[in-house]
Structure 1
Amino acid sequence: MSASHHDVSQDKGPAFVGLFVGMILLGAFMYGMVQFTNARYAGHGAAEKGAAVEAHK
């Protein structure tokens, strides 16, 4: 019984590491998409929109 419990606790480590790494990669991907979109539409009033949002606050 203790051996199987030990195996289960060992299996949780890689699972949490995989989840953590996956979240980091997803966050980096989303950040990259935002940067790409901002750069792509920079000439279409993105700067003015950003300034308007800042002034509206």
Structure 2
Amino acid sequence: MDTLVLIGYIGLIAWIGSRFGKDQHNPEDYFLGGRKIPGWAIVPSPLSEHLAGASRAALNAW
């Protein structure tokens, strides 16, 4: 059963990669999304990273 789940998972990841990776032709497309991602979709990632780091630092001082 575990082997079937693992094979299914690897197959799903390979399918997703082949399906959505067709538009990537150079490193800029990969790392910057072809500069098509809106700012409102980018901001939450660094913001949440900053808040997580600040909370860890606060816990160490507490």
Answer whether TM exceeds 0.5 for this pair. no
Q: TM-score range by the shorter chain?
A: 0.3 to 0.5
Comparing both structures, which one devotes a greater share of its residues to helix? 1
Using the size of structure 2 for normalisation, the TM-score is: 0.40
Using the size of structure 1 for normalisation, the TM-score is: 0.43
Q: Which has the larger radius of gyration?
A: 1
Looking at both structures, which has the greater relative contact order when contacts are Cα pairs under 8 Å and sequence separation is at least 6? 1
